Structure 1
Amino acid sequence: MQIVVATHNEGKLVEIRRILEEDLGPAAADIELVSAGSLHLPDPVETGVTFQENALLKARDVASRTGLPAIADDSGLIVDVMGNAPGILSARWAGAHGHDKANNALLLAQIEDIPDAKRTARFRCAAALVVPDTEAGADVTGGVADGGEAALSSAHTTAADGGPAPISARYAIASETVELGEMSGVIIRKPRGEHGFGYDPLFVPDDQPAGRTSTEPDYEGEPLTSAEMTPAEKNAISHRGKALKALIPAVEALLAD
């Protein structure tokens, strides 16, 4: 079964694939995850005012375009002293979407004078699974006449640059599930670590892997940032990991159909 992950970030696709493999076990072999970016699908405008609304918006858009189940997540950093900002604007806090270094630098400047004890924060994630109603067929607005993988294949053949073209069909939605996950911690004053993305180098989670501390010069013995953790360590405690793990029953039910 193909499931489309509503992202153009291949790093996020890898992370979601790893989380599903850990929780689904052998059943994960029955799922082929593909990204919306690899299918040349456009990014929908995120008009929601909550993580849940934006996750569902993205998953609905992909499912309705492809006729395939879609997983989407929306996540961000909530800094308590900033009145829960940057929140849903986390990825574009400095202006340009996904400019991690600029976002981190701006956040550090904004809370520069805040004492360490008051730099508490949380990552929050909403993960959504949306399943299209392929039995009802597609309301065709362009060159796709049937549902499922046949439609997916035939719709991606005519882009001007020789690559696949965006799917133009629209499918009704059969079901949707959304789950929330959080990871609490504190914001440090300088980035540490080479893994992860976004604000990971600035965030020290409250939950830490046993027996592991920072090995970076001047910080030996300090708790790890998210960016210093291995992918498995981060997934075990992360907001995205918790939200996706909560989706597993819905994914299992989909596989059983």
Structure 2
Amino acid sequence: MKLIVATHNEGKLAEIQTILKADLGSRSDGIQLVTAGSLGLPDPVETGVSFEENALLKARDVAERTGEPTLADDSGLIVDFLGAAPGILSARWSGVHGDDEANLRLLLSQMKDIPDSGRSAHFTCAMALVVPGSVTGGKRYEHVEFGIMRGSINHGPVGEHGFGYDPIFVPTAQPKDQVGGADNNELTSAQMSPRQKNAISHRGQAIRNMVPFIDDLLLQ
């Protein structure tokens, strides 16, 4: 069964693939993951006012264009000091969508004089699954799951892995094996291996929450 991932980010596809393999084992071989980007599909305009609305908007758009089951997420960083910003504007906080470096610079400048005690933040992910009626043999199926990763904003970028705000986000939940940093030194998401990050990330939680529904709808 083909499952379209409504993204142009191949890193997200790899993350989903890893989690499906871990949770479903050899059964995951029955799912062929394909990104919307690899199909040449455009990114829909995100007009929703919440992560859930935008995730559903993207999943519905790709499912309608392809007639295939589609998985989409909308994720963002919520910084308490900034009144829950950048939120749904996380990917375009600097004014240009997907400019990670500019987004980091702007956020760090806005937090420049804020002490550690005021740098709390968390990532939120809404993951939407849309299965067209042509696949279910009836009505279109829609389901949304969520994930949260709590932490704080570092004073500068550290680490080479991940994407987005990973270099400046220090998760509260830290891996037991501190690969990538000194012992007892808290890691940013960008210092973690994909396995370490997947185990605690907001997107990882949302995907794992969605696995039973993928299994039931697409692999039975």
The aligned counterpart of 1:146 is: none
Residue 12 (structure 1) shift: 1.4
SS at 2:39's partner residue? coil
Q: Aligned equivalents of 1:9 and 1:41: distance in 2? A: 13
State the AA in 2 paired with 1:212: Q
The aligned counterpart of 2:132 is: 132
The aligned counterpart of 2:43 is: 43
Q: Is the 8 A contact 2:59 2:72 kept in 1?
A: yes
| Identical residues among aligned pairs (%) | 60
RMSD: 1.7
Q: Deviations over 1:109-166 (max 9, x none)?
A: 00111111110000000001100011699xxxxxxxxxxxxxxxxxxxxxxxxxxxxx
Query: Which residue, out of 171, 178, 187, partners 2:144?
Result: 178
TM-score, normalised by the number of residues in structure 1: 0.82
After TM superposition, the structure 1 = structure 2 runs for residues 80-229 of structure 1, keeping only pairs within 5 Å, are 80-134=80-134, 174-212=140-178, 215=181, 221-229=184-192
- Segments of 4+ moved more than 4 angstroms: none
After TM superposition, the structure 1 = structure 2 runs for residues 2-81 of structure 1, keeping only pairs within 5 Å, are 2-81=2-81
Q: Is the 8 A contact 2:78 2:87 kept in 1?
A: yes
Residue 256 (structure 1) shift: 3.9
Q: Is the 8 A contact 1:214 1:223 kept in 2?
A: no
Q: Unpaired segments of 5 or more residues in structure 2?
A: none
Residue 31 (structure 1) shift: 0.5
Q: Is the 8 A contact 2:94 2:103 kept in 1?
A: yes
Residue 81 (structure 1) shift: 0.7
Q: Aligned equivalents of 2:49 and 2:205: distance in 1? A: 21
Q: Unpaired segments of 5 or more residues in structure 1?
A: 138-171
Q: Aligned equivalents of 1:7 and 1:68: distance in 2? A: 14
Q: Is the 8 A contact 2:68 2:135 kept in 1?
A: no
Residue 229 (structure 1) shift: 0.5
Q: Aligned equivalents of 1:209 and 1:107: distance in 2? A: 26
SS at 1:114's partner residue? coil
Q: Provide closer, same or farther for how the CA distance between residues 59 and 173 of structure 1 changes in structure 2, counting only shifts above 3 A.
A: farther
SS at 1:127's partner residue? strand
SS at 2:143's partner residue? strand
Q: Aligned equivalents of 1:116 and 1:214: distance in 2? A: 22
Q: Aligned equivalents of 1:22 and 1:108: distance in 2? A: 35
